[in-house]
């Protein structure tokens, strides 16, 4: 890919294979998010059952923040 920089044509530093690498395996990313979600819910339930409600709330807040960021 050539770009114009101050009137000169220069070759882009990003190759086309690296630019599409994040979109090459959407199924893998979906599975990874499901695994993270299940692990987070399990961690929240286990810590709450152990009587560590403050830690369970902290895990829930961080999990919510993580998935909120993934949704944006």
Please state the three-class secondary structure of 1-70 as a single string.
CEEEECCEEEECCCCHHHHCHHHCCHHHHHHHHHHHHHHHHHHHHHHHHCCCHHHHHHHHHHHHHHHHHH
pLDDT digits (tens, 9 = 90+) for 13-63: 655 555 555 566 788 888 999 999 999 999 999 999 999 999 999 999 999
Task: Tell me the pLDDT band of 71, cut-offs 50, 70 and 90.
Answer: confident
Question: Sign of the C-alpha dihedral, residues 37, 42, 48, 50?
Answer: negative
User: What integer pLDDT is reported at residue 31 of this predicted model?
Assistant: 92
Domains of the chain by residue range: 25-72
pLDDT at 23: 62
**Residue 19 pLDDT:** 55
Residue 53 · residue 61 · CB < 8 Å? no
pTM comes to: 0.62
């Amino acid at each position: 890919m050539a770009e114009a920089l101050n009137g000169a044509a220069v070759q882009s530093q990003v190759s086309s294979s690296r630019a599409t690498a994040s979109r090459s395996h959407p199924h893998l990313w979906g599975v990874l998010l499901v695994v993270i979600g299940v692990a987070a819910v399990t961690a929240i339930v286990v810590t709450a059952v152990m009587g560590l409600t403050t830690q369970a709330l902290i895990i829930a807040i961080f999990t919510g923040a993580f998935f909120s960021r993934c949704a944006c």
